[in-house]
Amino acid sequence: MAEVVEVLVAGGKATAGPPLGPALGPLGINVKAVVDEINQKTASFNGMQVPVRVEVDDKKNFTVNVGIPPTTALIKKEVNVEKGSPEPNLKVVGDLPLEAAVRIARMKQHDMLSYDLKSGVKEVIGTCVSMGINVDGKRPKDVQKAIDAGAYDKLLAE
């Protein structure tokens, strides 16, 4: 029976300290080797929290699976802000190009509740509402209405 450890780590900066070390130590595997592999696989997500799943089998072999960072982290990276607005309905902290929202929706497609790209993009834009981030210079809810009206159908063609 394989043991599974699931944690969120900083991309490219995992350490043998908490949360990884205490979870992996009792399993009797080389924690440094696991940390090195995680850092190698998450280097492209530098500065973001990345979900990581480590599976350890009976023979002490391990497999590292790296997930996609949360939608909010991907949006913050695209817009280049450290955090969302403290007053999302009043204060706007950035502007996300619609093309970036489409890219994020494609990345997260398997983790979303949406069945198609159009709905996935609307989910990403919905996240922008709560973060105080505009989309293509417009309020996110207005962009969602425009998507429903078919204004961006060419861009959102699967």
pLDDT digit string, tens, across residues 69-106: 999 999 999 999 999 999 988 999 999 999 999 999 99
What three-state secondary structure class fits 35?
helix
Sole residue written with tokens 């996110």: 140
Beta strand ranges found along 11-56 (DSSP E)? 49-56
Q: What is the pLDDT of residues 13-60, one digit of tens each?
A: 999 998 898 999 898 899 999 999 999 999 888 878 899 999 999 888
- 8-state DSSP, 45: G
What pTM does this model have? 0.78
Sole residue written with tokens 């991907």: 74
Which of 7-16, 19-28, 133-142 has maximum average pLDDT?
133-142
Token duo for residue 128: 């922008």
Outline which parts of the chain fall under CATH 1.10.10.250.
71-149
Domain 3-66 has CATH 3.30.1550.10: yes
**pLDDT tier at 149 (50, 70, 90 boundaries)?**
very high
pLDDT higher than threshold 70 for residue 132: yes
Is residue 24 a contact partner of residue 79, using CB atoms and an 8 Å limit? no
Outline which parts of the chain fall under CATH 3.30.1550.10.
3-66
Q: How far is Cα 124 from Cα 8, in angstroms, rounded to an integer? A: 21
pLDDT higher than threshold 90 for residue 154: no
Domain 71-149 has CATH 3.30.360.10: no
**pLDDT tier at 127 (50, 70, 90 boundaries)?**
very high
pLDDT higher than threshold 70 for residue 158: no
